[in-house]
Amino acid sequence: MTIQERLSSEFGLRMDYSQNIIELIDEGNTIPFIARYRKEMHGSCDDQVLRNFADRLKYLRNLDDEKAKVEKVITEQGKWTDELKKALEEAMTLTEVEDIYRPYKPKRKTRASVAIAKGLEPLADILQAQKKGVDLMEEAKNFVTEEVLTPQDAIAGAKDIIAERISDSAELRKELREILATKGFVFCTLLENEANLTYETYSGFKQEVKNIPSHRVLAINRGEKEKCLKVEIQIDEKLTIPVIEKHFKKDNEATNTIMEETIADAYERLLFPSLERECRNNLTDMANEQAIKMFEVNLKPLLLESPLKNNIILGFDPGYHNGCKIAVIDKNGSVLDTTVVYPTPPRSKTEEALEKLKSMIEKNNVDIVAIGNGTASKESEIFVAELLKHVNRPVSYAVVSEAGASVYSASKLAAEEFPEYDVNLRSAVSIARRLQDPLAELIKIDVKSIGVGQYQHDMPQNRLTEVLTGVVEDCVNSVGVDLNTASPSLLSYVSGLNMSIAKNIVAQRSKNKGFKSREQLLSVPKLGPKAYEQCAGFLRVVGGENVLDNTAVHPESYDAARKLLKIFSLSEEDVKNNNLINLPKYIEERGQKKVAEECGVGVPTLCDITSELLKPGRDIRESMPKPVLRSDVIHLEDLKEGMVFSGVVRNVVDFGAFVDIGVHQDGLVHISQLSDAFVKHPSDVVKVGDVVDVKVMAVDLAKKRISLTMKGIEKDAE
């Protein structure tokens, strides 16, 4: 089966679609570009399917490369056979290829290699054949030398050689691997350690390998790394030893005992430790992929949260000893005012802070206060709630995740953006901007530091970065970027661009006092025709010479868009003035397929063009839930069982969702409490940024834990 055939089968795609996607990727087209502007070539696959396709294509090509390397090495050894060729062709994973290669792989010094060097391989062949009537001890006498002093030594060496052969058997390893994965158990022992109280839950823990959830694997791994847990895979030998005997032991009374000893040694010394490591690695790999998937699932709605445009926002970065850092930004994100106040312990200059911020809010006409959710957040929230009671204008506040804000504020990027402010004030600006335009601000931060998911520091960092960067790219390109206001950081995520070209765009923008058309991008240094093709459709020119430049219609489809307007006696002025409300009806009456043919495009592209002409300059985030704004504060001590709140989902994990209900501590809605119906995974029910109604089930003041439920609330309301 070719790679193209395999991908078609796995992804349920037509063969020509698979081939087109492969060619588009090989030509250097980006996933956002392929997803948006080449729909006819792949059947309108979304960006996630295309990324998975690209990942799988990379794996399968790597698999083919490994097969070629293995064939080359074995052929050079003069050991290539038709059986090996068939086995390699049928191998579906890198692990299976490694199993086939194992017997031919150069090894470090082993007991078997020492025995082979002493000339004992022929004796091993005799023993492994287990022919009846052969006197093994007599045969062994023929192998006594200066290095092999006795027949018993010769037999011991032969057993070592066979033990390694058993361990290297690809067919056997595959069979035992499956048994371990389906019948094995993960078992944990709590070790003597000062920090082991964290892992008390896992004392004597035992669970089937096939059923252990990903978050538990990662917790166990961390406990093992911190030397709090001893972790092992357990399997009943009654399930494994007979399998080895089936492959390597024959019914021969003369050799039964020796072969049983050899099989036991091979299993205990070589096979099981190797397969146990493989099993643990597989569990970890799957857990990592699941955790990374959760980062991916959580990050997208966070980046696509509805922006609070056209608001003047005061960013409030809480703190204790060094005070609370304050920054006010205008409707465009520019800094209007900054200060530092000390309403929190140990200084507790509450009155002074109240007067200073009251004056600042009224002077700058602040609409919303954005409070960071880190250290001293609760005290700051209480202070802000009291402050707003004294302000002579309607002002509300929202608690904003400040994950990664300190990383950004100390970065080279922040220093370039705000050279006049110290690190702490930059953080306050970032918090305010996160509320005003989450996507534009969060992309400045290392994606691993945004704080959605679990165990980010335990993940394979390159893979985590690759996946999360893909999410950022998809979000940036799905929203579109204002060519005349976007920062270099935001521009660098646009399809076809990088930071170097992004900086050149900003420099050209400053020099020419803005771009009046997309076409002017072709004069930007290092931005050639290919980069222009990839990026143009995702960049918007607001109020430019051509209204189509403020839509997601690609320049290559401008003629098609104009033909569409002309067919129905419409003009670009009608687009500007939003006079196309009847266009979908006109297309339907004429026939969608016919109109697409008249315009020279496919039906998917026609639908996209129509959608864009109806709402030029639209922001898809406007349809997302708005941030929850508050004016008063709730204390943990105020919570009582049965209270119902409207909260915001802050994080989704394998075992549930964490919801912010206005108390400093997020509450947990366990997976079992997300719905009356069965929930396979929390992400099937909620996503980050969702506004949900929850009911308090229990409050643990000592541990600061809030248990919430989403079940039965509608019934209670009735």
260-285: pLDDT as tens digits? 999 999 999 999 999 999 999 999 99
- CA–CA separation, 566 vs 40, rounded Å? 23
Q: Could you tell me the fold of the domain covering 499-623?
A: DNA polymerase; domain 1 (1.10.150)
pLDDT digit string, tens, across residues 157-181: 999 999 999 999 999 999 999 999 9
Distance CA 31, CA 46 (A): 9
For the cut 50, the answer to whether the pLDDT of residue 716 exceeds it is no
Query: 3-104 — its CATH code?
Result: 1.10.10.650
Q: What is the mean pLDDT of residues 453-457?
A: 75
Q: Name which of 377, 379, 343 is nearest 358 in CA terms.
A: 343
**What pLDDT does residue 187 have?**
97
Q: 524 and 547 in contact (C-beta within 8 Å)?
A: no
Mean of pLDDT over the chain = 93
What is the pLDDT, as a whole number, of residue 9? 96
Region of residue 578 (phi > 0: left; psi between -120 and 50: alpha; otherwise: beta) = left
Q: What is the pLDDT of residues 478-533, one digit of tens each?
A: 999 999 999 999 999 999 999 999 999 999 999 999 999 999 999 999 999 999 99
**In CATH, what number does 636-717 get?**
2.40.50.140
Q: Percent of the chain at pLDDT above 90?
A: 78
Question: pTM of the full predicted structure?
Answer: 0.84
The mean pLDDT value for 44-58 works out to: 96
Instruction: Over range 662-674, report the average pLDDT.
Output: 90
Q: Which of 355, 368, 366 is nearest to 308 (CA)?
A: 368
Contact partners, residue 81, CB within 8 Å, separation at least 6 = none
Is beta strand 667-670 parallel, antiparallel or unpaired with respect to 656-660?
A: antiparallel
Q: What is the pLDDT of residues 295-323, one digit of tens each?
A: 888 889 889 999 998 999 999 999 999 99
Domain spanning 111-292 has what CATH number? Answer: 1.10.3500.10
> Per residue in 531-569, is it b (16+ CB within 10 Å) or e — as a string?
bbbbbbbbbbbeebeebbbbbbbbbebbebbebbbeebe
Domain boundaries, the chain: 3-104, 111-292, 313-459, 499-623, 636-717
The fold of 313-459 is Nucleotidyltransferase; domain 5 (3.30.420)
Q: What is the pLDDT of residue 195?
A: 61
453 has pLDDT over 80: no
